[in-house]
Amino acid sequence: MAADRPTIVSLPQDRLAQLNPRTTLAVSLEPHGGSPTGQPTGPVLAKGLVGGT
């Protein structure tokens, strides 16, 4: 992810249909292999609203 421009992430339509257009998705910094708890454990590095094009 670039810090100086938006990043667009495509989601499958079936997943996108489950989300409210005002839902916020966030990316957090996690240890190698992912969060040990299944929940975010690190700082949020990026976030954005679901919706768009």
Model pLDDT for residues 2-42, shown as the tens digit of each residue: 778 888 878 888 988 888 878 888 899 999 999 999 899 99
Residue 42 has a pLDDT of: 93
Burial class of 48 by CB neighbour count within 10 A (0 to 12, 13 to 18, 19+): middle
- The answer to whether 25 and 47 have CB atoms below 8 angstroms apart is yes
**30-39 as b/e, with b when 16 or more CB fall inside 10 Å?**
eeeeeeeeee
Count structural domains, the chain: 1
Band (pLDDT 50/70/90 cuts) for residue 52 is low
Range of the domain at 44: 1-53
